[in-house]
Amino acid sequence: MENEKNDSKQVKTSKQVTKVVNNSAIYGLAVIGALVYYLQHATSFTDGIIGIGKAVFWPAVVIYKVLEMLKL
């Protein structure tokens, strides 16, 4: 049925249907996991604040380094 809500969107092109998957759930789980890791290893309030920043931005740095390594 067309009215059902799915986790993925369908993009129709000429005779082909392509599914576009939303990766924000994967990113969210990665951020939560990183938050747990950094906050467990924090020895002070400042380390905890820095850990929150690292948990939010580390996925972007990883993707940048992978693309840099692949020269894309």
Q: Render pLDDT for 14-53 as a digit per residue (tens, 0 to 9).
A: 556 555 556 677 778 888 888 999 999 999 999 999 999 9
Whether the pTM exceeds 0.85: the reply is no
- CA torsion sign, 47 to 50 to 56 to 61? negative
d(CA 38, CA 47) in angstroms, rounded, equals: 8
Task: Say whether 9 sits in a helix, a strand or coil.
Answer: strand
Q: Which residues contact 51 (CB under 8 A, 6 or more apart)?
A: 35, 38, 39, 41, 42
pLDDT band at 67 (very low <50, low <70, confident <90, very high): confident
d(CA 64, CA 72) in angstroms, rounded, equals: 10
Query: What DSSP element (H or E) covers 59?
Result: helix 45-70
